[in-house]
Amino acid sequence: MPHLHMEYTANLPQLNADVALIRLNNTLVGSGQFAAEFDIKSRAVKVETFKVGTAMAERAFVYVKLALLSGRSPQIKKQLSESLLAVLQELCEWPAGVEVQLCVELVDMDRESYSKTAIGV
């Protein structure tokens, strides 16, 4: 916990997913909401086939979903969402002529049913 999923469209070649993930993880650590930095698990998926809307104009997106254990206040979740969005905005030089949408969604995982163990620690 938490689990961060980032999806981004293939027409964003200047987006370095490794850099993006470490910056997003560092932002989560800096929030003070998580007990240990190694609890944060993130992954990125480049989306090769996509469509944004119906226009023929070139468009792109970066979507981050943060799944975290239930129980945080709406204010804390909003703060986390806004801080992750700020990181997305500063990730790279976005391509000229491409409408890029940056999105962050926070979802609660049921605290009572979440199970985890660490092996080799």
Mean pLDDT of 50-68: 95
- Residue 121: the pLDDT is 63
For the segment 76-96, what is each residue's pLDDT rounded down to a tens digit? 999 999 999 999 999 988 999
Q: 45-69 burial, b for 16+ CB within 10 Å, e for fewer?
A: eeeeeeeeeeeeeebbbbbbebbbe
Residue 24 binned pLDDT confidence (cut-offs 50, 70, 90)? very high
